[in-house]
Amino acid sequence: MIRSTTPDDIPALIALAEATGLFPSHETEELTQMLVEYFGSETKSPDFWLTDDDDGPMGVAYVAPERMTQGTWNLYLLAIRPDRQRQGRGAALLAQVEQMLAERGERLLLVETSGLESFEYVRAFYRKSGYDEEARIREFYKADDDKIIFRKTLTAQGK
């Protein structure tokens, strides 16, 4: 079941992010802060968090609009618990994000990831999901670690 994330999900989602091994500890601290701020904000922000729930969070996605654009969004986080990967959960969560954005009339979804060989499975996932490699910024994250940006059109006609 894919649903909106709630404040009660925060500890499980942080544990999930740590379990994937894709996020260093300082990034999970940032993730915690982002979730706390998101739920503590009195103003309704356009970004959203979704959780794949199967008797507890198994996956999470976070998307937000790109500032100073019309209809361009960024997928900042898509993570599935390691013991639940390769079951279609990531694809289902991504499809739900895309559907929600398309129904709102949004135009583009961007995803960035590392160019390291160990991230090839991530890049293959996005290619299989219909994303095209749009840009590469060499040595963005650190020496020999490029930033690769993927892009997918969400609607036939943008607003």
Domains of the chain, first to last: 2-153 (3.40.630.30)
pLDDT tens per residue across span 35-58: 888 888 776 778 888 898 888 899
CB 101 within 8 A of CB 119: no
- The encoded tokens of residue 68 equal 């100073």
- Indicate the average pLDDT of the chain: 90
Q: What pTM did the predictor assign?
A: 0.87
For 131, the token pair is 């994303």
pLDDT band at 156; cut points 50, 70, 90: low
Tokens of 70: 């019309």
Residue 132 in this model has a pLDDT that exceeds 90: yes
Integer angstrom CA distances of residue 115 from 65, 83, 86? 24, 24, 21
Number of residues that make up the chain: 159
DSSP category for residue 44: P
For residue 155, name the pLDDT band (cuts at 50, 70, 90). confident
SS (H, E, C) the chain: CEEECCHHHHHHHHHHHHHHCCCCHHHHHHHHHHHHHHHHCCCCCCCEEEEEECCCEEEEEEEEECCCCCCEEEEEEEEECHHHCCCCHHHHHHHHHHHHHHHCCCCEEEEEEECCHHHHHHHHHHHHCCCEEEEEEEEEEECCEEEEEEEEECCCCCC
